[in-house]
Structure 1
Amino acid sequence: MDKEIAEHLLAISTDCTRDANESMKRIMGTCDEETFKMYRRLGARIMGHLFTEIIAPIQSEHPELAPPDFKPMELVERPRMRLTKESQDDLLASLNRLYEQIETMAGFVRENCDKAEAAAYRSRTHEVLAHVAEAMACVLSAHVDEK
Protein backbone atom coordinates (compact mmCIF):
# COMPACT_ATOMS: atom_id res chain seq x y z
CA MET A 1 0.00 0.00 0.00
CA ASP A 2 1.20 3.49 -0.84
CA LYS A 3 2.49 5.34 2.27
CA GLU A 4 0.19 8.34 1.70
CA ILE A 5 -2.88 6.08 1.56
CA ALA A 6 -1.64 4.22 4.65
CA GLU A 7 -1.30 7.51 6.55
CA HIS A 8 -4.81 8.54 5.53
CA LEU A 9 -6.31 5.21 6.63
CA LEU A 10 -4.44 5.36 9.93
CA ALA A 11 -5.77 8.87 10.58
CA ILE A 12 -9.34 7.71 9.94
CA SER A 13 -8.77 4.62 12.12
CA THR A 14 -7.48 6.82 14.93
CA ASP A 15 -10.61 8.98 14.67
CA CYS A 16 -12.82 5.89 14.70
CA THR A 17 -11.04 4.45 17.73
CA ARG A 18 -11.38 7.77 19.56
CA ASP A 19 -15.08 7.99 18.64
CA ALA A 20 -15.77 4.43 19.84
CA ASN A 21 -13.95 5.12 23.09
CA GLU A 22 -15.82 8.41 23.57
CA SER A 23 -19.16 6.68 23.03
CA MET A 24 -18.30 4.30 25.86
CA LYS A 25 -17.39 7.22 28.13
CA ARG A 26 -20.66 9.01 27.27
CA ILE A 27 -22.84 6.04 28.15
CA MET A 28 -20.98 5.29 31.39
CA GLY A 29 -23.08 6.52 34.28
CA THR A 30 -26.21 7.00 32.17
CA CYS A 31 -27.38 3.39 32.43
CA ASP A 32 -27.16 0.37 34.68
CA GLU A 33 -23.86 -1.51 35.04
CA GLU A 34 -25.01 -4.51 32.99
CA THR A 35 -26.04 -2.31 30.05
CA PHE A 36 -22.76 -0.41 30.23
CA LYS A 37 -20.77 -3.67 30.20
CA MET A 38 -22.70 -4.91 27.16
CA TYR A 39 -22.01 -1.69 25.28
CA ARG A 40 -18.38 -1.62 26.43
CA ARG A 41 -17.89 -5.12 24.95
CA LEU A 42 -19.31 -3.90 21.65
CA GLY A 43 -17.07 -0.83 21.66
CA ALA A 44 -14.04 -2.91 22.57
CA ARG A 45 -14.81 -5.27 19.70
CA ILE A 46 -14.96 -2.31 17.30
CA MET A 47 -11.62 -0.98 18.52
CA GLY A 48 -10.06 -4.44 18.53
CA HIS A 49 -11.07 -5.12 14.95
CA LEU A 50 -9.89 -1.68 13.86
CA PHE A 51 -6.50 -2.57 15.30
CA THR A 52 -6.20 -6.15 14.07
CA GLU A 53 -7.80 -5.67 10.65
CA ILE A 54 -6.64 -2.18 9.66
CA ILE A 55 -4.08 -0.51 11.92
CA ALA A 56 -1.69 -3.41 12.65
CA PRO A 57 -1.49 -4.63 9.03
CA ILE A 58 -0.74 -1.09 7.82
CA GLN A 59 1.86 -0.51 10.54
CA SER A 60 3.40 -3.91 9.78
CA GLU A 61 3.78 -2.90 6.14
CA HIS A 62 4.98 0.61 7.05
CA PRO A 63 6.94 0.28 10.32
CA GLU A 64 7.86 3.97 10.09
CA LEU A 65 4.16 4.75 10.80
CA ALA A 66 4.06 2.54 13.91
CA PRO A 67 4.85 3.51 17.49
CA PRO A 68 8.30 2.44 18.74
CA ASP A 69 6.92 -0.44 20.85
CA PHE A 70 4.85 -1.92 17.98
CA LYS A 71 5.51 -5.56 17.17
CA PRO A 72 4.79 -6.17 13.47
CA MET A 73 2.29 -8.83 12.54
CA GLU A 74 3.51 -11.88 10.78
CA LEU A 75 2.17 -11.43 7.30
CA VAL A 76 0.62 -14.61 6.00
CA GLU A 77 0.76 -14.95 2.27
CA ARG A 78 -2.49 -16.27 0.86
CA PRO A 79 -2.27 -19.30 -1.41
CA ARG A 80 -2.31 -18.27 -5.03
CA MET A 81 -4.62 -19.86 -7.55
CA ARG A 82 -3.67 -20.49 -11.16
CA LEU A 83 -6.12 -18.94 -13.60
CA THR A 84 -6.29 -18.00 -17.22
CA LYS A 85 -6.81 -14.29 -17.85
CA GLU A 86 -10.28 -15.11 -19.17
CA SER A 87 -11.18 -17.05 -16.02
CA GLN A 88 -9.83 -14.28 -13.80
CA ASP A 89 -11.84 -11.65 -15.65
CA ASP A 90 -14.96 -13.81 -15.52
CA LEU A 91 -14.60 -14.46 -11.78
CA LEU A 92 -13.96 -10.79 -11.03
CA ALA A 93 -17.03 -9.75 -13.01
CA SER A 94 -19.11 -12.31 -11.15
CA LEU A 95 -17.77 -11.25 -7.75
CA ASN A 96 -18.31 -7.57 -8.56
CA ARG A 97 -21.94 -8.30 -9.48
CA LEU A 98 -22.36 -10.28 -6.28
CA TYR A 99 -20.85 -7.44 -4.22
CA GLU A 100 -23.18 -4.90 -5.84
CA GLN A 101 -26.25 -7.11 -5.28
CA ILE A 102 -25.41 -7.54 -1.61
CA GLU A 103 -24.84 -3.79 -1.23
CA THR A 104 -28.23 -3.24 -2.87
CA MET A 105 -29.78 -5.66 -0.39
CA ALA A 106 -28.25 -3.71 2.52
CA GLY A 107 -29.56 -0.43 1.10
CA PHE A 108 -33.03 -1.88 0.55
CA VAL A 109 -33.19 -3.11 4.13
CA ARG A 110 -31.89 0.21 5.46
CA GLU A 111 -34.63 2.10 3.60
CA ASN A 112 -37.51 -0.31 4.24
CA CYS A 113 -37.10 -1.82 7.70
CA ASP A 114 -37.12 -0.45 11.20
CA LYS A 115 -33.75 0.79 12.46
CA ALA A 116 -32.95 -2.18 14.70
CA GLU A 117 -33.78 -4.71 12.00
CA ALA A 118 -31.82 -2.69 9.43
CA ALA A 119 -28.77 -2.55 11.71
CA ALA A 120 -28.86 -6.32 12.21
CA TYR A 121 -29.07 -6.95 8.46
CA ARG A 122 -26.32 -4.43 7.76
CA SER A 123 -24.09 -6.39 10.11
CA ARG A 124 -24.90 -9.63 8.30
CA THR A 125 -24.49 -8.20 4.82
CA HIS A 126 -21.16 -6.64 5.78
CA GLU A 127 -19.96 -10.08 6.89
CA VAL A 128 -20.90 -11.49 3.48
CA LEU A 129 -19.24 -8.53 1.73
CA ALA A 130 -16.03 -9.20 3.64
CA HIS A 131 -15.97 -12.75 2.27
CA VAL A 132 -16.70 -11.57 -1.26
CA ALA A 133 -13.88 -9.02 -0.99
CA GLU A 134 -11.52 -11.74 0.26
CA ALA A 135 -12.45 -13.86 -2.77
CA MET A 136 -11.75 -10.84 -5.00
CA ALA A 137 -8.32 -10.38 -3.41
CA CYS A 138 -7.55 -14.06 -3.96
CA VAL A 139 -8.60 -13.91 -7.62
CA LEU A 140 -6.63 -10.70 -8.19
CA SER A 141 -3.45 -12.21 -6.71
CA ALA A 142 -3.71 -15.39 -8.79
CA HIS A 143 -0.95 -16.57 -11.08
CA VAL A 144 -2.42 -15.69 -14.47
CA ASP A 145 -1.66 -17.62 -17.64
CA GLU A 146 -2.12 -15.29 -20.61
CA LYS A 147 -3.82 -18.00 -22.74
Structure 2
Amino acid sequence: MQKEIAKQVTAIMLDCCKKLEESIDLVANASRDDELEKKELMDFRSSIGKIMGHIFVDVLHPIYQRHPELEPEELKSQRR
Protein backbone atom coordinates (compact mmCIF):
# COMPACT_ATOMS: atom_id res chain seq x y z
CA MET A 1 0.00 0.00 0.00
CA GLN A 2 1.34 3.43 -0.92
CA LYS A 3 2.32 5.57 2.05
CA GLU A 4 -0.26 8.31 1.41
CA ILE A 5 -3.09 5.79 1.10
CA ALA A 6 -1.83 3.98 4.20
CA LYS A 7 -1.84 7.29 6.07
CA GLN A 8 -5.46 7.95 5.09
CA VAL A 9 -6.56 4.40 5.93
CA THR A 10 -4.82 4.65 9.31
CA ALA A 11 -6.65 7.88 10.12
CA ILE A 12 -9.99 6.33 9.16
CA MET A 13 -9.35 3.18 11.22
CA LEU A 14 -8.28 5.16 14.30
CA ASP A 15 -11.39 7.32 13.94
CA CYS A 16 -13.50 4.15 13.74
CA CYS A 17 -11.91 2.89 16.96
CA LYS A 18 -12.64 6.19 18.66
CA LYS A 19 -16.29 5.94 17.58
CA LEU A 20 -16.47 2.34 18.80
CA GLU A 21 -15.15 3.44 22.20
CA GLU A 22 -17.81 6.17 22.26
CA SER A 23 -20.48 3.53 21.62
CA ILE A 24 -19.28 1.59 24.67
CA ASP A 25 -19.56 4.74 26.80
CA LEU A 26 -23.07 5.35 25.47
CA VAL A 27 -24.24 1.84 26.31
CA ALA A 28 -22.44 1.89 29.68
CA ASN A 29 -24.15 5.12 30.71
CA ALA A 30 -27.54 3.63 29.86
CA SER A 31 -26.83 0.33 31.66
CA ARG A 32 -25.96 1.44 35.17
CA ASP A 33 -28.87 0.09 37.20
CA ASP A 34 -30.37 -2.87 35.38
CA GLU A 35 -28.64 -6.27 35.83
CA LEU A 36 -29.80 -7.52 32.42
CA GLU A 37 -28.46 -4.37 30.80
CA LYS A 38 -25.15 -4.86 32.64
CA LYS A 39 -24.90 -8.33 31.06
CA GLU A 40 -25.74 -6.82 27.68
CA LEU A 41 -23.03 -4.20 28.25
CA MET A 42 -20.46 -6.92 28.93
CA ASP A 43 -21.49 -8.72 25.74
CA PHE A 44 -21.47 -5.46 23.78
CA ARG A 45 -18.06 -4.49 25.15
CA SER A 46 -16.73 -7.93 24.20
CA SER A 47 -18.07 -7.62 20.65
CA ILE A 48 -16.62 -4.14 20.23
CA GLY A 49 -13.29 -5.40 21.57
CA LYS A 50 -13.25 -8.12 18.91
CA ILE A 51 -13.96 -5.57 16.19
CA MET A 52 -11.20 -3.28 17.45
CA GLY A 53 -8.85 -6.23 17.69
CA HIS A 54 -9.47 -7.08 14.05
CA ILE A 55 -8.88 -3.46 13.06
CA PHE A 56 -5.54 -3.38 14.86
CA VAL A 57 -4.32 -6.89 13.98
CA ASP A 58 -5.65 -7.25 10.44
CA VAL A 59 -5.57 -3.67 9.14
CA LEU A 60 -3.29 -1.40 11.16
CA HIS A 61 -0.51 -3.82 12.12
CA PRO A 62 0.35 -4.66 8.48
CA ILE A 63 0.36 -0.95 7.66
CA TYR A 64 2.64 -0.17 10.60
CA GLN A 65 4.99 -2.98 9.59
CA ARG A 66 5.37 -1.52 6.13
CA HIS A 67 5.28 2.15 7.23
CA PRO A 68 6.47 2.25 10.88
CA GLU A 69 6.60 6.03 10.81
CA LEU A 70 2.77 6.06 10.66
CA GLU A 71 2.34 4.24 13.97
CA PRO A 72 1.34 6.68 16.73
CA GLU A 73 3.86 6.98 19.58
CA GLU A 74 1.28 5.93 22.18
CA LEU A 75 0.80 2.61 20.36
CA LYS A 76 4.55 2.06 20.09
CA SER A 77 4.98 2.65 23.81
CA GLN A 78 2.19 0.15 24.63
CA ARG A 79 4.11 -2.61 22.85
CA ARG A 80 7.32 -2.01 24.81
Fold in common (TM above 0.5): yes
Q: Look at both structures and tell me which one has the larger radius of gyration over its CA atoms.
A: 1
**Which residue of 1 is the match for residue 20 of structure 2?**
20
For 2:39, which of 29, 34, 40 is the aligned residue?
A: 34
Higher RCO by CA contacts (8 Å cutoff, separation 6 or greater): 2
Does 2:66 align with 1:61? yes
**Which residue of 2 is the match for residue 43 of structure 1?**
48
Q: Distance in 1 between matches of 2:13 and 2:39?
A: 28
Residue type of the alignment partner of 1:3: K
Q: Distance in 2 between matches of 1:16 and 1:66?
A: 16
- State TM-score, norm by structure 2: 0.81
Q: Mind listing any 5+ residue stretches in structure 2 that lack a counterpart?
A: 32-36
Say what the alpha-carbon RMSD is for the aligned residues. 1.4
**Which residue of 1 is the match for residue 3 of structure 2?**
3
Q: Mind listing any 5+ residue stretches in structure 1 that lack a counterpart?
A: 72-147
More helix by share: 2
Work out the percentage of aligned pairs sharing the same amino acid.
34
